[in-house]
Amino acid sequence: MKGSMMQKSISYIVAGYNGGPIIEEAVREVHAALSIDFTDFEIILVNDASTDNTGEIMDRLSQELDNTTVLHNLVNLNFGTSVLRGLMAATKDFIIYNAVDLPLSPDKTAAIIKEMDKYDLLVLERNSGHTTGWRKVTSFLNKLLLHILFPGLTRGTPILNFIQVFRRDIVKHIVPLARSPIFVWPEMIFRAKLNKDIRVGNMLVEITVKDYGKGSFGKPHDIIWGIYDMLRYRIRGRK
């Protein structure tokens, strides 16, 4: 088994808010998959100021599982900004992130990282969706607005708000101004596309969904915040 393990090093970020019912199972699943497939890895857990026992569980797992650390947000920052904290703390060559409900199965990580021989940023595309009617409406409107404001930058990248994989040394070149849940990832992808030295690719992946409570996206506040971030980037560009 050792001979088949991947030699690339990987930082795996799991961020979440009030994921107490499922966080332990999720982290153990990630750790088991990475232990099988990678010789060098770290897991960065980000607790987004949860009001349940998510932080306590993360702390306990970081003591129990090797190569696992925790970042605690003092206030709720949302998923995108929480993952950005993880990106800045990452120390390995490649970085991937996931939510606590693991829509991307950790056992697919090795196959995805193999694709990074060809890319510096890999945009993962869902092959299916499972969401509420309201989320479907807001997702459609979000995609429509992105295509209207950024027709050139959205071309060839159908999904902008799922999961991306980064070569760590490019992250400092594409740090976004945005902090809203719906524009952190599009802005990073756009900045990468505008950088001629960064290779951007797409990869279709199968997703799984575990329901453990109400989603945090699609709230009116987040929509208004996201539109502000889009317009700011549209006006200011890469400044």
Q: How confident is the model at residue 239 (pLDDT cuts 50, 70, 90)?
A: low
Of 161 and 166, which is predicted with more confidence?
166
- State percent of the chain over pLDDT 90: 78
Mean pLDDT of 167-195: 96
* Alpha-carbon span 187 to 229, nearest angstrom: 9
CATH topology of domain 2-236: Spore Coat Polysaccharide Biosynthesis Protein SpsA; Chain A (3.90.550)
Query: Taking the alpha carbons of 214, 228, 147, 170 in that order, is the dihedral positive or negative?
Result: negative
pLDDT tens-digit readout, 48-93: 999 999 999 999 999 999 999 999 999 999 999 999 999 999 999 9
| Tokens standing for residue 138 | 């807001």
Query: Taking the alpha carbons of 192, 195, 198, 200 in that order, is the dihedral positive or negative?
Result: positive
Q: What ranges do the domains of the chain cover?
A: 2-236
Backbone angles phi, psi at 37, to 5 degrees: -100, -15
Strands (E), the chain: 10-16, 41-47, 68-72, 94-99, 121-126, 163-167, 200-205
Residue 27 pLDDT exceeds 50:
yes
Residue 132 pLDDT exceeds 60:
no
Cβ count within 10 A of residue 156? 11
| Tokens standing for residue 73 | 């947000």
Q: How confident is the model at residue 3 (pLDDT cuts 50, 70, 90)?
A: very low
